C-alpha cells in the first residue's frame, strides 16, 4: 500500500516545482536572445491570473470539453506519482511501471485531443490531428527506450533505474533518444512552438486554444508537470545519483541540490536547442522521430551486446 504522506509530499513537490522549470527555460532563452525577459516565476503569476479569470466556453462544446482538463491534469499527476524523486521507489511504484506511465500519459492526451475536436473550430481539429500524429510516432521510440533500459536493469520498473551505477553507452544513447522524444512530447521547438498562435505552427497550443480561465490553468499545469516528469527521468538516467533512503536532512538537502543542478543543466540544454533551431515542418517531424527511433535501436543493440 502506498504511504499517504509520501503521495502528498510528491504531489506537492510536483505542483510547486513544475512551473518553475518552464519559467527557467523561457528566462534562459530570453537571456540568450539578449533580453532581460520575464521573471523566472512568471508561470506562477500566469496561473494565479488564470485562476481569477472568468471562463468562456464554446456553444458547441459538450461535457467532454468540460471534464477534459481534470482528466488531463489527473493523468499527469498520476504519472508524476510514479517518478522516484525523493524515495528509492516512487510512492506509487507498487502500482505501475514505465510502460504503464506511457499509457497513463496517453489517457491525458486522448481526452485533450477529443476536447480540441469538441469545440467545432478548425484550430482544434488541426491540433488534435497533429498531436496524435506526433505522439503516435513517438510511442515506438519510448517503448524502445524502456526496453533497452529495462534490459540493462532487468525490469521495466522505474525504481530499477535508480540504483547507483555508471552510465553505460546504451543508457546514454537511450537518454538522448528519450530527450528527442521528450521534445516531441512536451511540445518544444523543433517540434512545436509554445509561444505562437499561428495555425500553421501550433500543435499543443491549438488544442488548448478554446480554453480560458481556471480550466486553462489546469491544462497549463498538466503540461508543466508532464515536462517535469520527462526531464526528471532523463537526468536520472544520464546522471544517476543516489537517492536518500531516510529523511536524514543533510542527505535530503544534498539530493535536492544535486537534483536542481542536473535539472538546470538539462533546462539550459533545452533552451539552447530551442533557440538554435527553427521549428520543423510537420511532415519532417516524422524524420526527426525516425532519427530518435534509430538511436533507440542503437541503444537496444548496445544493451543486448552488454555495452
Q: Which of residues 55-74 bind another protein (CB under 8 A)?
A: 55-60, 62-64, 67, 70-71, 73-74
Continuous H helices in 154-168: none
- Looking at beta carbons only, is 215 or 262 nearer to another protein? 215
Q: Residues touching another protein: how many (CB under 8 A)?
A: 88
Residues 3-32 that bind another protein (CB under 8 A): none
Residue 34 CB, nearest approach to another protein (Å): 34
Counting contacts by CB under 8 A, is residue 244 touching another protein? no
When binding is defined by CB under 8 A, the residue of 114, 172, 252, 260 that contacts another protein is 114
- Using a 10 angstrom Cβ sphere, with 0-12 exposed, 13-18 middle and 19 or more buried, the burial of residue 70 is middle
Residue 23 CB, nearest approach to another protein (Å): 22
Say how far apart CA 241 and CA 123 lie, in whole Å: 43
Segment near another protein (CB under 8 A); pick from 165-173, 177-185, 270-278, 291-299? 291-299
Of all helices (H) and strands (E), which one includes residue 210?
none
Nearest CA among 274, 88, 252 for reference residue 195? 274
Segment near another protein (CB under 8 A); pick from 40-48, 88-96, 169-177, 237-245? 88-96
Torsional class of 62: left (φ above 0), alpha (ψ -120 to 50), beta (otherwise) = beta
Q: Between 154 and 183, how does the x/- string for binding to another protein read (CB under 8 A)?
A: xxxx--x-----------------------
Is the separation of the CB atoms in 76 and 226 below 8 Å? yes
Of all helices (H) and strands (E), which one includes residue 250?
helix 249-276
Segment near another protein (CB under 8 A); pick from 16-24, 25-33, 98-106, 259-267? 98-106
205-223: b or e for each residue (b if 16 or more CB lie within 10 Å)? Answer: bbbbbbbebbbbbbbbbbb
Counting contacts by CB under 8 A, is residue 121 touching another protein? yes
When binding is defined by CB under 8 A, the residue of 12, 45, 103, 291 that contacts another protein is 103
When binding is defined by CB under 8 A, the residue of 24, 50, 85, 92 that contacts another protein is 92
Residue 190 CB, nearest approach to another protein (Å): 16
Nearest CA among 53, 44, 36, 39 for reference residue 18? 44
Amino acid at each position: 500500500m502506498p504511504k499517504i504522506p509520501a503521495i502528498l509530499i510528491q504531489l506537492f513537490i510536483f505542483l510547486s516545482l513544475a512551473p518553475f522549470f518552464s519559467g527557467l527555460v523561457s528566462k534562459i532563452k530570453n537571456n540568450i536572445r539578449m533580453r532581460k525577459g520575464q521573471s523566472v516565476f512568471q508561470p506562477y503569476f500566469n496561473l494565479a491570473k488564470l485562476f481569477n479569470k472568468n471562463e468562456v466556453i464554446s456553444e458547441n462544446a459538450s461535457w467532454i470539453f468540460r471534464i477534459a482538463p481534470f482528466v488531463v491534469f489527473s493523468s499527469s499527476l498520476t504519472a508524476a506519482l510514479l517518478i522516484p524523486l525523493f524515495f528509492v521507489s516512487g510512492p506509487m511504484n507498487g502500482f505501475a511501471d514505465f510502460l504503464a506511465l506511457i499509457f497513463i500519459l496517453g489517457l491525458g492526451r486522448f481526452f485533450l485531443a477529443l476536447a480540441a475536436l469538441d469545440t467545432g473550430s478548425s484550430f482544434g481539429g488541426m491540433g488534435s490531428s497533429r498531436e496524435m500524429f506526433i505522439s503516435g510516432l513517438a510511442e515506438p521510440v519510448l517503448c524502445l527506450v524502456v526496453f533497452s533500459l529495462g534490459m540493462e536493469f532487468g525490469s521495466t520498473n522505474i525504481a530499477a533505474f535508480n540504483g547507483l551505477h555508471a552510465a553505460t553507452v546504451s543508457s546514454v544513447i537511450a537518454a538522448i533518444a528519450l530527450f528527442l522524444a521528450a521534445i516531441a512530447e512536451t511540445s518544444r521547438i523543433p517540434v512545436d512552438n509554445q509561444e505562437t498562435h499561428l495555425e500553421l505552427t501550433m500543435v499543443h497550443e491549438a488544442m488548448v486554444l478554446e480554453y480560458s480561465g481556471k480550466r486553462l490553468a489546469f491544462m497549463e499545469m498538466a503540461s508543466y508537470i508532464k515536462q517535469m516528469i520527462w526531464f526528471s527521468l532523463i537526468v536520472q538516467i544520464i546522471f544517476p545519483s543516489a537517492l536518500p533512503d531516510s529523511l536524514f536532512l543533510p542527505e535530503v538537502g544534498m539530493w535536492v541540490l544535486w537534483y536542481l543542478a542536473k535539472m538546470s543543466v538539462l533546462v539550459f540544454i533545452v533552451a539552447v536547442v530551442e533557440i538554435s533551431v527553427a521549428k520543423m515542418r510537420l511532415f519532417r517531424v516524422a524524420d526527426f522521430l525516425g532519427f530518435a527511433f534509430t538511436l533507440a535501436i542503437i541503444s537496444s543493440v548496445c544493451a543486448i551486446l552488454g555495452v
